[in-house]
Amino acid sequence: MVSKTSSSYVPWSQERAVAIFERHRTERGALMPILHELQDVFGHIDPRAVDLVAEELNLSKAEVYGVVTFYKDFRSEPPGTSVIHVCRGEACQSMGAERLARHAREHLAVDFGGTTSDGAVTLEQVFCLGNCALSPAVLVDGRLKGRVDEAGFDELVAACRTEAR
Amino acid sequence: MGPVVVFVPLDAAARSIGADDVAIAVVREAAVRRRDIRLVRNGSRGMFWLEPLVEVSTPEGRVAYGPVEAGNVGELLDAGMLDGAPHRLCLGKTEEIPQLRRQTRFTFARVGINDPLSVADYEATGGLAGVRRALEMTPQEIVTAVTDSGLRGRGGAGFPAGIKWQTVLNMPSGLKFIACNADEGDSGTFADRMLMEGDPFLLVEGMAIAGLAVGANEGYIYIRSEYPDAFATLSAAIDIAYLNGWVGPSVLGTDRSFDLHLRVGAGSYICGEETAMLESLEGRRGMIRAKPPLPAIAGLFGKPTVVNNVLTLATVPPILAKGAEAFGELGVGRSRGTQVFQLAGNIKYGGIVETAFGVTLGELVEEYGGGTASGRPVRAVQVGGPLGAYLPTSRFDLPMDYEAFAAAGAMVGHGGIVVFDETVDMSHQARFAMEFCAEESCGKCTPCRVGAVRGVEVIDRIIAGVDREANLELLEDLCETMVDGSLCAMGGLTPLPVRSALKHFPEDFEHVKAVPL
């Protein structure tokens, strides 16, 4: 869940990670909830977390690594202060999303998955945010935005940069 | 006289264009004018061209104003909005707005009406009647009622829900599960999201009924991570349901138990495929499973599992409360009841249209939808998500009916309709279908994993004018291989948008163009 900014992430702590396992230990199929919480707390899935998860859940490191890398949400490095998802689904395409996607990459000078050099914004692509009657749609730190044109995108970025300072 | 009730939606789409600012302005401006109001954050009525839509309770009924901007609120209050007075933004009584009046809201009856998390509102508007009825019935009677209603899976495949439930009921008793697919990843669909945000208790009730029907004591809802608002609302709804004893060790004071868990996806489209979703719930990569065995026989953790979409489960409570006939008498052919159609993309009046099956594609796009948002002529519509066919306006006569669409080489799917105007280049849309498949394929089977990558390359050559005839033939071969050889709908249906684009819009593939991006 992309619902907070990096300022609230904590540095790696084994005790903190173990506390997360304890909370989920009795759940069926606990791996996904554990990975989500690890990322919510630390901002990304630290390699040390992979080792620990494997040990705690009696899985091979390869299995855990395989799950972490399968899902786009799980990061191997912390994101920028803000994360902006630009929708490239068909509904948004019909309202100019490809133009917006191009503009976003040029404006931020990063490709999808990249973080701006000042660390303020990580740019991601997404295929549908469920706002298909108010396209193009963008998600900024978990907040949905509708009818976002190029100028609107620049305003959102400016707000993120102000927040990052 | 009590306070005037003012409704400002909390739906994520309404919030995406300023509903929160409007809500704040309503409270502030009313206070300035010393008017006593009670603000209710309701779900959305699903008329997004009117959002943020503000409603005011009057003795004659709810009066609507929209689209309202925060800056208009002071002026609206001065004009007498709190008394339902006329204004250029006044739309009259909400229920009489033409696009809403013509609908038959069966599943969405409560969405946009209530505070989604109000227990009192839920019960006052018929909530829990379905599960109470179910508690008086035998499991077989519940399953029979669902079967008799003709309800088919709303997730896209349209499999009869009752038959699925019967299969799970017939399995020997023991550990069984209800798994709700809330991984609504198809572009052009947002009905699941709106229901989870606008009437989450209905889904909880539907899950509980499914548990009672098939003898399952545990349910999982798998919601996509791209829906943070829906997650928050549903999560709160489940907590409230536990506190009120609607679910938990004793369902409504009976000796039946039903535990409900909410799980979040992690950005994978393929996890909307039921077996990939089950893998993900079990804590693995979202790789699809070969069928058989069907999930109804060996599903979640290898146990018999009902896997249904949000709207399928949410349609069960009103079916039980109002009777299978009330639902089954609507619709056409084997497509019974209503469908929550979603008008999306380049559309003037976008949003939800819940109406009986049988309405034509043209009625939805032109009459309800009012044509394009851009004002240019409609050129193509894609029905049923990224794996659905592109259709030209000459097929607007098609009735929304699973069988009629299948016969036309298309699919109704989840009922999402994405409209494109004349500026669309259909060769780009065909290419995108392959690109999307390449991006989202789980990689388990070769036709999908490799076919999609080759598909992009072949379409690029066609667009660039390289050996066009030979490459068109190759593309057709490739599509055939993907349809016949893929394990699931991802690879099996990706050729649908590709072939339909080629069939209906061949002219877009005839001229040499720059390859997109």
A155 Cβ under 8 Å from any chain B Cβ:
no
Query: Closest Cα of chain A to B126: distance in Å?
Result: 28
Nearest CA in chain B to A102: B517
Please compute the mean of the pLDDT values over residues B414-441 and round it to a whole number. 97
Binary contact (B17, A31; C-beta < 8 A): no
Kindly report the nearest CA distance between residue A102 and chain B, in angstroms. 9
Average confidence (pLDDT) over B467-483: 97
CATH classification of B119-328 is 1.10.540.10, yes or no?
A: no
Q: Where are the domains of chain A?
A: 6-70, 82-164
Chain B nearest CA to A77, separation (Å): 16
In angstroms, the separation between the Cα of residue A126 and the nearest Cα of chain B is 8
Mean pLDDT (chain A) is: 94
Q: How confident is the model at residue B515 (pLDDT cuts 50, 70, 90)?
A: low
Give the distance from residue A87's alpha carbon to the nearest chain B alpha carbon, in angstroms. 9
Query: In the structure, what pLDDT confidence band is assigned to residue B514 with cuts at 50, 70 and 90?
Result: low
Cβ-in-10-Å burial (0-12, 13-18, 19+) of B34 comes to: exposed
Average pLDDT over residues B38-53: 98
DSSP state at residue B172:
P
pLDDT for position A7: 60
Closest of A126, A119, A154, A165 to residue A142, by C-alpha: A126
CB neighbours of B49 closer than 8 A, spacing ≥ 6?
A133, B67, B348, B349, B350, B351
B188/A132 Cβ within 8 A: yes
DSSP letter at B294?
P
- Confirm or reject contact between B262 and chain A (CB < 8 A): no
Q: Where along chain B do the CATH 3.40.50.11540 domains lie?
A: 119-328
Q: How far is Cα B132 from Cα B135, in angstroms, rounded to an integer?
A: 5
For CA atoms B404, B409, B415, B420, the dihedral sign is negative
Q: A150 exposed, middle or buried (CB, 10 Å; 0-12, 13-18, 19+)?
A: middle
Region(s) of chain B under CATH 1.20.1440.230? 426-509
CA dihedral B96, B98, B99, B103 (to 10 degrees): 60
Any chain B CB within 8 A of the CB of A113?
Answer: no
**Contact: B264, A66; criterion CB under 8 Å:** no
User: What's the gap between Cα B184 and its chain centre?
Assistant: 7
Identity (one letter) of the amino acid at A159? A
pLDDT over 80 at B363, yes or no: yes
Contact at CB, A98 and B517, closer than 8 angstroms: yes
Instruction: Kindly indicate whether the ipTM for this predicted assembly is greater than 0.85, answering yes or no.
Output: yes
How many whole angstroms separate alpha carbon B318 and alpha carbon B328?
Answer: 12
Tokens of B339: 């469908």
Average pLDDT over residues B416-429: 97
A133/B347 touch (CB, cutoff 8 Å), yes or no: yes
CA pair distance B143, B155, nearest whole angstrom? 19
Burial A124-139 (b: 16+ CB within 10 A, else e): bbbbbbbbbbbbbbbb
Q: Which of B16, B225, B424 lies closest to A145 in CB terms? A: B16
Question: B345 in contact with A at a CB cutoff of 8 Å?
Answer: yes
User: Which residues on chain A are in Cβ contact (under 8 Å) with B265?
Assistant: 71, 73
Q: Which CATH number fits domain A82-164: 3.40.50.300, 3.40.30.10, 3.40.640.10, 3.40.50.720?
A: 3.40.30.10
How much of chain B exceeds pLDDT 70, in percent? 99
pLDDT tens digit string along B195-230?
999 999 999 999 999 999 999 999 999 999 999 999
Distance CA B220, CA B207 (A): 9
d(CA B114, CA B457) in angstroms, rounded, equals 50
Q: Does A76 touch chain B (CB under 8 A)?
A: no
B324-352 mean pLDDT:
97
Report residue A1's pLDDT band, with 50, 70 and 90 as the boundaries.
very low
- pLDDT at A2 > cutoff 70: no
CA distance A49 to A163: 29
Polymer length in residues for chain A: 165
pLDDT for res A165: 80
The domain made up of B4-96 is a member of CATH 3.40.30.10: yes
Task: Give chain A positions within 8 Å (CB) of B51.
Answer: 134
Distance from CA of A85 to the nearest CA of B (A): 9
Task: Note whether A134 contacts B: Cβ–Cβ < 8 A.
Answer: yes
Residue B272 to chain A, least CA–CA distance (Å): 13
Q: Which of A31, A98, A133 sits opposite B13 (nearest CB)?
A: A133
Whole-angstrom Cα distance, residue B149 to residue B258? Answer: 24
The answer to whether residues B16 and A145 touch, using CB atoms and an 8 Å cutoff, is: yes
Find the CB nearest A130 among B227, B420, B436: B227
Confidence of residue B53 (pLDDT cuts 50, 70, 90): very high
Window A:39-58, CB contacts with B under 8 Å: 57
Interface residue A70 vs chain B (CB under 8 A): yes
**B426-509 architecture in CATH?**
Up-down Bundle (1.20)
Tokens of residue A125, six digits: 């692509």
How far CA B63 is from CA of A90, B18, B56, B59, B347, in Å, comes to: 35, 20, 5, 10, 25
Q: Which of B39, B101, B29, B37 is nearest to B69 (CA)?
A: B29
Q: How far is CA B191 from CA B116, B137, B274, in A?
A: 15, 30, 18
Distance between CA atoms of B56 and B4, rounded to whole angstroms? Answer: 7
Q: Do A128 and B283 touch (CB under 8 A)?
A: no
Residue-level pLDDT at B23: 98
Q: What is the pLDDT of residues B81-111, one digit of tens each?
A: 999 999 999 999 999 999 999 999 999 999 9
Task: Identify the CATH assignment for B331-421 out of 3.40.1160.10, 1.10.10.10, 3.10.20.600, 3.90.420.10.
Answer: 3.10.20.600
Question: Which residues of B are less than 8 Å from A145 in CB distance?
Answer: 16-17
State yes or no: cis peptide before B293, omega within 30 of 0. yes
Q: How many CA atoms lie within 13 A of B482 on its CB side?
A: 32
Among B16, B226, B439, the residue with its CB nearest the CB of A128 is B226
Which residue intervals of chain B bear CATH 3.10.20.600?
331-421
- Would you say residue A163 has pLDDT above 90? no
